Amino acid sequence: MKKILFALALLIAAAVATSLLLRPVAKVVAAAPGLAIKAVPGSVTVRAEFEMELKSEQSGRVVESTLDQGAHVKQGDVLIQIDPGDLKLDIEHIESDYEAAKARIAVGSAVKLELLTAQDNFKNYERLAKGGSYALADLEKQRRAVEAIQQRVALEEVNNKSLLEGYENTLKVRRRALDKMTIRAPFDGIVSVVYARPGALISGGAPIALLISTSRTVEVRISEEYFSGIKLGQKASVRFLGYGDQLYPATVEKLLPTADPDTQRYIAHLKVDIPVEKLTPGLTGEATIVVDERQAQTIIPRRALQGRTVLVVEDGRVRQREVEVGFVSLTAVEVLKGLKSGDLVIVEDLDLYRDGQRVKTVTVSAD
């Protein structure tokens, strides 16, 4: 009989030990006093501060290009060279005509020689008329002839000036067009898209590349109901989806005054403490902007909250509790009712546990 009782005791002990060993291990955090933060949530998108579609003002064939998708360029760097051959020949032809016109004008005009002759004749006739050897009517006729030639000389000078100015203006236009056949980077940036390659025939106004700035804007979109509480200089925390659970401190540096007409969400710009090279345009995430804070008796990780309930471990069993929450931030929740300091709340794999289930616990970091 004693042997049977001993065997039963061993079986019971083994069963208890097995039960303890098979209990799941719940990861818990102890509720504790701390700083409660009231934070406004928002969705984050990283954008290039600005972008520009580069276009050619001149048509022609691309003979050289340094454009490469993803390449960094500096303001003034040559990006595209359009074949300038025909335009250079045109400029040389105009320069030749211009120099020839100046040479002809420098030699002198036949009309000016005619004027000098007419003026000499008029002086002779004037002297003869004073001596009575020439009629005054004939003298007046000579005066009118001189005036007519003077008008022709003045008109010729105007035409010559207009001719030279025409050549000069044409050369300015052609040289400006020649300069535009070399397309340079208008600002420091990154080549996002390339539309024109060497050998391509492009027309005036055709896009050749999309250039984005190296500076970045971190936009956070905020619901209309929260926006009135946002102020410049408020602190924020940002989590980017591409960088896991890492939190980056930030501040509000700009508020846009109008809402997106489609979503009715307002936009604020954040200055984030993060290396700019990590801010890839298109990167998304979430942010919370701190609008108020206070000391609280009970703080738990936000990830422990399921709607308005939490899972608490008491005496080795899981208990579901309803709680009343106060301030909520991206990572933590203030509990006003339902918990007390020291209570152990489950913070991971909440869907694996049920009310009354026996568990073992291991304490993890609240962060």
The span from the CA of 133 to the CA of 224, in Å, is: 106
Q: Give CA angle at 196 (175, 277), nearest 5°.
A: 105
Q: Which two tokens stand for residue 359?
A: 């568990």
Distant-in-sequence contacts of 332-335, Cβ < 8 A, 24+ apart:
332/34, 332/36, 332/37, 332/299, 332/300, 332/301, 332/302, 332/366, 333/299, 333/300, 333/301, 333/302, 333/304, 333/305, 334/36, 334/296, 334/298, 334/299, 335/31, 335/298, 335/299, 335/300, 335/310
pTM: 0.58
β-strands 25-30, 360-363 pairing: parallel
Tens-digit pLDDT profile for residues 211-246: 999 889 999 999 988 888 899 999 999 999 999 889
Tens-digit pLDDT profile for residues 138-187: 667 777 777 777 777 677 777 778 888 999 999 999 999 999 999 999 99
Tens-digit pLDDT profile for residues 134-145: 666 666 777 777
The DSSP H or E segment spanning 17 is: helix 2-22
